[in-house]
Amino acid sequence: MNTALFIKTYAADFGFLSYCLRSISKFVSGISEVVIAVQEEDVPGLKAMGLSRERIEIVPRYTSDGYLDQEIHKLVAYRYTNAEWILYFDSDCIAIRKFSPSDLIIDGRPRWLVTPYSKLINADGSQATPWRDITSKAIGRPVELEAMRCHPLMAPREALIEFGVFMEKLHSMTLEQYIASQPMRAFSEWNALGMWAYHYAPDYFSFWNTEEKGVPQPFVRQGWSWGGVTDDERRQMEEILK
């Protein structure tokens, strides 16, 4: 299977990214290329990291909010590679054991973890995540499942293309325009894509309900890039990569 690994990053995350790339080299096999998407001003800092096999793609700025921009870039990642499948890493994710894209395939389709919102409840009875109404609005129907449960995620390029077509038809604007127009960062790329596929195009993914099957052993560890790389995180990542 022809699979590209895609990372959208920016300068503030480069401290994590260096560990992410080291972990990919150490643990991830079976990928045709590593594509790193950045905006033009961050290219010099990225090149200074001494990349080897990674390919830099300069991506446009759609909004003044980098958070919404990175969601757009992930959903249009097929524009930056010819690969049939796209495997996603965030900058603050590091692989922790050996795996390849084939390990994420069930019955010929990428697995996609989902959890019922009825199980994601705070002690006071409120929803533990903010994505339910936001995702229902995005795909034009009520949703019962949270679909952003586990890194890494993998998607067929055709699913990404078809999702963009769906969003444009539903909202009478491009996917990029819809995301960019959402106030208060009210969009979740993986919930929208996952629930669109679940309800409208289920053959693209093999959905894994964590309440029925449990959470599978992870292949990656996710940090918290907004806080920067702390000394403790650095020690933990070095221990994993030694």
Look up residue 102 and give its two tokens: 């084939």
Residue percentage of the chain with pLDDT more than 90: 93
139 is in which domain, residue-wise?
3-226
Sign (positive/negative) of CA torsion 118, 131, 142, 149? negative
| Residue 90 is assigned to a structural domain of this protein | yes
Site of tokens 């009520």:
142
| Residue 235 is assigned to a structural domain of this protein | no
Question: What's the CA gap between 210 and 102, in Å, rounded?
Answer: 20
DSSP, collapsed to helix, strand or coil, labels residue 130 as: coil
Question: What's the CA gap between 11 and 21, in Å, rounded?
Answer: 15
| Residue 240 is assigned to a structural domain of this protein | no
| Residue 239 is assigned to a structural domain of this protein | no
Query: 114 - beta bridge partners?
Result: 209
DSSP class of 126? S
| Residue 238 is assigned to a structural domain of this protein | no
> What CATH number has the domain bearing residue 18?
3.90.550.10
Q: What would the mean pLDDT of 128-144 be, rounded to a whole number? A: 97
- What is the number of domains present in the chain? 1
pLDDT for the residue numbered 223? 80
List, for residues 86-113, the tens digit of each pLDDT value: 999 999 999 999 999 999 999 999 999 9
pLDDT for the residue numbered 153? 97
| Residue 128 is assigned to a structural domain of this protein | yes
| Residue 57 is assigned to a structural domain of this protein | yes
